[in-house]
Structure 1
């Protein structure tokens, strides 16, 4: 498998260049095509008017979103222009509650979505549902980019989180184009179960599977010495000087993670490295 169709959604002019720089670097290395969906987001309530609002007011919000979409598309084309890759950019307007349909329709026909980190200072409310729409409705792996990380289309050292879940296995398979070219892949197992078929060799079957693809991997078994799994992963990534983290996304329900937290939620909030996620 190779990434030949890379997809991104742009809704914030401040995030256009850093997001597209990563996508262009990947496309240049992999000889891939980049499709950018430039959305102006209408954040008005759907299904009814605000109290005292008129149709003219609502039309104004749509017109403003259309203007934003056109500005985002123009900025994206300016970033794409000097590159030598194959690319396309289209603009449109979507209401906040209807983002998933627009994102999923295009994401499902791509190999990888490249999206900005959805949480942080000055991040719009639309970024989280865009990531989730790509993962769930689009069924595509997502490379989530934190702030101020230089493009690295060929990460040399990768941390792969492994807990024997179907989500973690989906992430490992989706990340094979990165894993096969890495110098070292650390399969990280945290507090493996004391009872189970893999208790004597945690991560062994995954490592065997990856090695048959030519992946140079080793297994790191860690104790949960910090309150959250995401903290252990982040600390170990720093210890091994990792360039990327690969992990399954939303082993629990999205609602539970939104209310109680979870590894996916915390990684999306706090990651300092690009994180490739799949569900």
Structure 2
């Protein structure tokens, strides 16, 4: 398996620089095609307007969304035209309530979606919806890039040299590991992190052993680290390990719950995305 079709979605000019640095680095490393979707969002809410003004307001919103998408496309072209990559860009506009369907439809035909961190001071107001659509509706793994961009070592950006895998025996975690195999196989070192393993489970006598064996058969040398939950949250323990290992990528399952038939990020997934200082590859 390899990543040959990458997708990134742009809704805010402020997120382009660091997200594109990761997308370009990965596309070059994997010899992949990079697709870029520039989305202008129509925020009009027809139900809140007087009937006489609806048509004018709707037209103004559509024109603004089209201009936003065109501006993003120009910015994308500036970033990619001289990079020597195989890439294409597309503009689209969508009503606020239809953004998820648009993203999911594109994400289904990508091997990996590269997106900015959805939380924080500079996060796009649409970033969380885009991430959830790609993960839950598009069923596509997502590489979430922090605001600081890729880690830097010896003056060069790095991705996946030192990887931590958050392992809890769940199907989501296993899907994430399989989705990350191209990166895991190229890593210098992989740590399988298990926090407070259950006493009654398939792996109770050898936590992480079956996963380490699976990875070893792909040529991945993985070390299993079992940790106690000595901090209030699992994510706090994981982040401490990430700092100790000087890791530059975290692989973990994406967890959520249904709210009005829409999957939303919950618990450890949201906590990790809020706190993560390195890229996180998530899948479900």
What TM-score comes out, normalization by structure 2 length?
0.93
Structure 1 residues 149 and 17, CA gap change in structure 2 (3 angstroms): closer
Would you say the 8 A contact 1:8–1:37 is kept in 2? yes
Contact 1:26-1:153 at 8 Å conserved across structures: no
Whether 2:19 is the aligned partner of 1:19: answer yes
Other-structure match for 1:65: 65
The 2-side partners of 1:193 and 1:17 are apart by 42
What corresponds to 1:54 in structure 2? 54
Pairing 1:256-271 to 2, within 5 Å after superposition: 261-271=266-276
Note the alpha carbon deviations across 1:92-137, whole angstroms, 9 max, x for none.
Answer: 1112211111111111111000000011113222110100111111
**Cα distance in structure 2, aligned partners of 1:233 and 1:118:** 19
Q: How does 1:128-207 map to 2 (within 5 A)?
A: 128-150=128-150, 152=157, 154-207=159-212
Q: In 2, distance between residues paired with 1:96 and 1:38?
A: 14
Q: Secondary structure at the match of 1:48?
A: helix
Q: Which runs of 5+ in 1 are unaligned?
A: none
**Structure 2: how far apart are the matches of 1:202 and 1:97?**
43
State how far apart, in whole Å, the 2-side matches of 1:257 and 1:230 are.
Answer: 21
1:89 shift after superposition: 0.4
SS in 1 for 2:199: coil
SS at 2:198's partner residue?
A: coil
Q: Give 5+ residue unaligned stretches, structure 2.
A: 152-156
C-alpha distance in structure 1 between counterparts of 2:20 and 2:72, whole Å? 12
1:249, 1:278 within 8 Å by CA — same for their partners in 2?
yes
Cα distance between partner residues in 2 of 1:153 and 1:58? 45
Q: Residues 63-113 of structure 1: CA distance to partner in whole angstroms, max 9, x if unpaired? A: 111101000001001101110110000111112211111111111111000
Considering only aligned residues, what root-mean-square deviation do their CA atoms show, in Å? 1.8
1:237 alignment partner, one of 232, 239, 242: 242
Secondary structure at 1:210's aligned position in 2?
helix
Q: How far off is 1:153 after superposition? A: 5.6
Structure 1 position 253 matched with structure 2 position 252: no
1:49 Cα deviation from its structure 2 partner? 4.1
CA contact (8 A) 2:11 2:39 kept: yes
Contact preservation (8 Å) 2:132, 2:263: no
Shift in Å at residue 176 of structure 1?
0.3
Deviation, 1:51, is 4.9
Q: Distance in 1 between matches of 2:247 and 2:195?
A: 17
Distance 2:201 2:273 in 1: 30
Q: Distance in 2 between matches of 1:102 and 1:258?
A: 17
**Matched position secondary structure for 2:137:** coil
Q: Is this contact kept in 2: 1:257–1:265, CA < 8 A?
A: no
Q: TM-score, normalised by structure 1?
A: 0.94
Answer yes or no: is the 8 Å Cα contact 1:38–1:72 preserved in 2: yes
Contact 1:162 / 1:168 at 8 angstroms: preserved in 2?
yes
Of the three residues 209, 214, 231, the one matched with 2:214 is 209
Mapped contact 2:19–2:149 kept (Cα < 8 A): no
